[in-house]
Structure 1
C-alpha cells in the first residue's frame, strides 16, 4: 500500500479513537434536581407558592394563624412543627457563641414538648420579638442562612430525593412535584404525608407523565379533604399549587429548562435563561 495512504489511514483511525476516548471520559450531566440549575428553578417555583416571590425568604418571619405558630425562613420552618427549633439549634452550633436567638431556644423546646404531648402548635409563649430578631440576624449573620440550608437539606431535599429514586421519578418536574409535596405535607408516612400519597399513586411502571398526573390528583384529594379537619381551610388554599404543577405537565416542561415562566394564583413568575 502507498505509504502516504497508510499514514492518512493511521491518522484517521487515531482521530476516531481519540474522539471515542474523549466521549467516554466526558462527565455525564446530573439528572433531575441533582443538577444545580434544575434545583434553582424548582426552588424558585416552590418559593413562588410559599412566598409570592422567586427569591428564597431567608429573613422572613411571621405569624400566619395557621395552627403552626411562627413561620420563618427559606422553607417556612415553624415553631409548632419542630423544624424551627432545629434551625435555631443548628445556628447556635455553627456560631459557637451566644447569638441573638439564644434566648428563644428554651421557649421553642417548651413548645416542641407541648406539641408532642398533644398541645397547641399555635402557641408562641416566650417568642415575643422573635420575628424582628430573626430578620435582623438573617441579614447580618450568614451562619443563620447556612443553618437554614443545612436543615432544609436534612429534613426535605435529601429525603424527598431518596423517595423519588425509590419511586423511579427521574425528571426535574417530577422531583419538583414530590419536593413541593414533602415541604408542605411532610416527608413521613402520616395520613397526608408524601410517603402516603406516593404509595396511593402506585408503581410508576415506566410512564412518568401518567404517574405524575395520578400523583397530583391524589395530592389534590388530600388538600380538599385532609385527614385533620381543623386544617381543611388552610390546605384548600394550596390547591393552586397543584394547578400550576399540572400546567407544567400539560406543557411537557419535564426538564424545567430555562427560561421558564408560570402563573400561580393569578400572578406571573419567571426564571430567565
Structure 2
C-alpha cells in the first residue's frame, strides 16, 4: 500500500511528463501537429479524440459553483461527438485555460483523473505483484501515455523461460521493452517521448523504488514542500533540461542554441547566439500559440516535445 506522499510523488512525476510541472497544469491546453488525440486539456492531458475531454467537462459543468459552467455547457454536444473542428476554436481554448484556475475545476480534475487512471493503475499493479512506489509509477505512466496491456504482454514474452522474475527485474525489462517500442514507432510523435522512459530508468538506476524525496525529474526538483504547495516548483540547477525564460541575467548555453536552431527550422530567423533574450522569447510565444500551447514564452517539457527536441 502506497503512502499518501508516495501517491502524490508518483503523480508529480507523470505531471512533469505531461505538463512540465510537478503539481500539474490544470489550465494546460495543447494541440500537437499529427496527434490523433486532437485537443488535450488538464493536468494529465485528457483528449478530445478519446471522448474523455467530454466526460471531464461534463462532470465540471454538473458540479455546484463551477464558475465557467455556463459558457462551457454549449460545447458539450460537440465534445461528446468528438468534433475535431474544436481543435481550432480559440474561444474554447480560452475558456478551458480560464477554467483551470477555478478551484472547482481543480477538484473535479483530481477526482476525474484518479477515477480514470490512478485507481485502475493500482488494481493492475497489484494484480502483477507490483507493490513499490516506483513500479506503480511506471504502470501509471503507461496508463496515461497508452498501451499498458500491449507492453505488459510483450514484456511477459521477453521474460518467458527465465527463472522467476522479481518486481524490479520485470520493471527494468518492461522499461527497456517500452523504450524500444516508442523509439521505433511509425507515429513520428512517439519517438519524441522516450524521455519519459529515460527519466524512469534514471530512478530505477538510483534504486529509488520507494520514491524517497527529494528527487529531480527532467529538471524539476520535487520535495514535500513542492507537493503540498508551500514552495513553488523550480528547475534543478544540476539538470540540463532547465526551464528557459527571460531572466536577469539572461539564460545562456548550448540548450538555448538548440532551441534557437529548432525555432529557425520552423520559420524563425533568430541569431543563434545561445542567449535567451526577448527576440527568442517572442519566437517561442509565436510557436506556442500556433501549436495550442500556453503562449508564455517559457520553454519546458511540452514546448520541447512540440519542437521535437528530445
Task: Tell me the TM-score normalized by structure 1.
Answer: 0.73
Bigger Rg over Cα: 1
8 Å CA contact 2:31, 2:87 repeated in 1: no
Q: 1:73 to 1:125 in 2, by over 3 A?
A: closer
Correspondence for 2:51 = 82
8 Å CA contact 1:91, 1:147 repeated in 2: yes
Among 216, 220, 223, the residue aligned to 2:179: 220
Shift of 1:205: 3.7
8 Å CA contact 1:68, 1:80 repeated in 2: yes
CA deviations 1:217-262 (Å, max 9, x no partner) are 1211221234xx3xx2111111011111111111100000112223
8 Å CA contact 2:56, 2:109 repeated in 1: yes
Correspondence for 2:61 = 92
Partners of 1:261 and 1:125 in 2: CA distance: 33
SS in 2 for 1:95: coil
Structure ranking higher in helix proportion? 1
Q: Structure 2: which 5+ runs fail to align?
A: 225-310
SS in 1 for 2:123: helix
Partners of 1:148 and 1:220 in 2: CA distance: 29
Q: 1:61 to 1:133 in 2, by over 3 A?
A: same
Q: Tell whether 2:213 aligns with 1:258.
A: yes
8 Å CA contact 2:41, 2:53 repeated in 1: yes
Q: How many residues align?
A: 216
8 Å CA contact 2:39, 2:87 repeated in 1: no
Correspondence for 2:239 = none
8 Å CA contact 1:107, 1:126 repeated in 2: no
Q: Tell whether 2:97 aligns with 1:135.
A: yes
Partners of 1:70 and 1:138 in 2: CA distance: 15
Correspondence for 1:71 = 40
Partners of 1:145 and 1:96 in 2: CA distance: 13
Q: CA RMSD in A?
A: 2.1
Q: 1:125 to 1:47 in 2, by over 3 A?
A: closer
Partners of 2:107 and 2:75 in 1: CA distance: 19
Correspondence for 1:16 = none
Q: Tell whether 2:168 aligns with 1:209.
A: yes
The answer to which of 94-103 and 63-72 deviates more is 94-103
Shift of 1:126: 8.1
Partners of 1:235 and 1:124 in 2: CA distance: 23
Correspondence for 1:105 = 76
